[in-house]
Amino acid sequence: MNDLTFQIAREQSASVSLGACESHSDSIVERLAQIDWSFAQRSKSLAIESIHPYPAKFIGDIPRALIESLPIPDGTAVLDPFCGSGTTLMEAQRAGLSSVGIDLNPIACLIARVKTSPLPKGFEEVVQEITSRARNIHTLPTSSIPNVDHWFKPDIQLAVGALAQIIADPAYAVWLDQLRLALSSILIRVSNQDSDTRYAAVEKNIVRNDVFDAFDKASSKLQRSLLERTWALPSAHVLEANTLELRPSEIAMNIGLVVTSPPYPNAYEYWLYHKYRMWWLGFDPIAVKEKEIGARAHFFKKNNHTAETFVDQMKGTFELIEGVLVKNGFVCFVVGRSKIHGQIINNGDIIHQVATGVGLEPISRFERVISATRKSFNLSHANIKTETVLVFQKL
């Protein structure tokens, strides 16, 4: 995208609060304007949000504020085309709304499904049985996971491999998602990786039995968190798919509200963050990396991605949205800036340009300050201090 295009987009954005807002319900605009989008007084975090680590997690205050403030058309559902760990879907459930989430990352989909699904009965007993069986396994085939010896000690590999193997037993299929999530949640802790956001190998005083104890504790925490939900569970469909390849017919619901935060170009490394979790659970992180929007590797290769690539990706996203969004429905994007080869890219301007290009009417635009605790692997490129909240409507 050239400088002239960005200048046009900035000029269009500057006119939102004057032109577009005057042509819509003053009450909607006023309600949005009264929200503290930085959420300095954040709602108390729910226990369910801590059942599994996730980078740059979408805070529930954002979709909650939008759901409460916007007149969502009756009989419609909420869509998040980049649902991550399912925060938007869970907030839709809390408001009594059905929802659909899409994500390429199987770990993200796993978290989202567990957070929005009932816990099948007998979970505690099944965990005890699995742990007991795993403790009695003392040999396994050599692991095919790349560089596994660097990140996992041999006895830790044996324990993790035993749990993964037994969890996959068809006898436990009804609890498969919950069991996988409990195992996934402890993998960085029992590995040689320093932390969830520091990709460096360090020496840890962890032995084989610690893995089983950690799995038991994670399972108990997951069970408590799911049972603490005090709200009903309207349908929440999680599609493990590439949003850019999905057809509107595959969503199969009328959408009245879209709330999402798409991956930023050259910012967060979601595939890298979860790659060993994916390998241990039988997923393919390399396939995820190849199609992940914004992954840093895409910007440092032959025929590298550019800001124009993100424009095209968002055009594909909005084509999907247009195909499922009902008249008078709303679209809300939360995006930050990116740094690509030294150039600062305002992704809010890109979203505004693409959204208005498909006929959506801009309603409001706000800047919000991001909590300083949010982290990623790619800190030098993802030092994002603010995000833009953009709201559009299909008239």
Q: Please state whether the predicted TM-score (pTM) of the whole model is above 0.85.
A: yes
How large is the angle between the packed helices 87-94 and 61-69, nearest 10 degrees?
40
pLDDT at residue 294 in the model: 65
* Residues 122 and 128: beta-carbon distance below 8 Å: no
59 to 37, 159, 198: CA distances (angstroms): 11, 34, 22
Contact (Cβ atoms closer than 8 angstroms) between residue 155 and residue 205: no
CA–CA gap between residue 104 and residue 294 (Å, rounded): 13
C-alpha atoms less than 13 angstroms from C-alpha of 185 in its C-beta half-sphere: 27
- Structure token pair of residue 155: 């006895």
| CA distance linking residue 189 with residue 334, whole number of Å | 31
Spell out the per-residue pLDDT of the chain, length 395, in tens: 443 333 334 344 444 443 444 445 678 999 999 999 988 887 778 899 999 999 878 899 999 999 999 999 999 999 999 999 999 999 999 999 999 999 999 999 999 999 999 999 999 999 999 999 999 999 999 999 999 999 999 999 999 999 999 999 999 999 999 999 999 999 999 999 998 878 889 999 999 999 999 999 999 999 999 999 999 999 999 999 999 999 999 998 999 999 999 987 766 677 888 999 999 999 999 999 888 886 656 666 666 767 788 899 999 999 999 999 999 999 999 998 887 777 888 999 999 999 999 999 999 999 998 866 544 444 444 456 789 999 999 99
Per-residue tokens: 16 = 């939102």
Nearest to 93 by CA among 233, 292, 279, 299: 233
- Residue of 46, 91, 99, 383 whose CA lies nearest to 236: 99
In this predicted structure, what is the pLDDT of residue 178? 98
Can you give the pLDDT at residue 383?
53
196: its two tokens: 């969830």
Question: The dihedral of CA 311, 314, 316, 322: what is its sign?
Answer: negative
Three-state DSSP string of the chain: CCHHHHHHHHHHHHCHHHHHHHCCCHHHHHHHHCCCCCCCCCCCCCHHHHCCCCCCCCCCHHHHHHHHHCCCCCCCEEEECCCCCCHHHHHHHHCCCCEEEEECCHHHHHHHHHHCCCCCCCHHHHHHHHHHHHHCCCCCCCCCCCCHHHHCCHHHHHHHHHHHHHHCCHHHHHHHHHHHHHHHHHHHHHCCEEECCEEEECCCCCCHHHHHHHHHHHHHHHHHHHHCCCCCCCCEEEEECCHHHCCHHHCCCCEEEEEECCCCCCCCCHHHHHHHHHHHCCCCHHHHHHHCCCCHHHHCCCCCCCHHHHHHHHHHHHHHHHHHEEEEEEEEEEEEEEEECCEEEEHHHHHHHHHHHCCCEEEEEEEEECCCCCCCCCCCCCCCCEEEEEEEECC
Q: What is the pLDDT of residue 384?
A: 62
pLDDT attached to residue 18: 39
Phi, psi angle pair for 140, to nearest 5° = -145, 160
In angstroms, the Cα distances linking 38 to 370, 381, 386 are 7, 22, 9
At which residue do the structure tokens 């990352």 appear? 105
How crowded is residue 243: how many other Cβ atoms within 10 Å of its Cβ? 22
pLDDT at 87 (0 to 100): 97
Return d(Cα 310, Cα 325) in angstroms, integer.
22
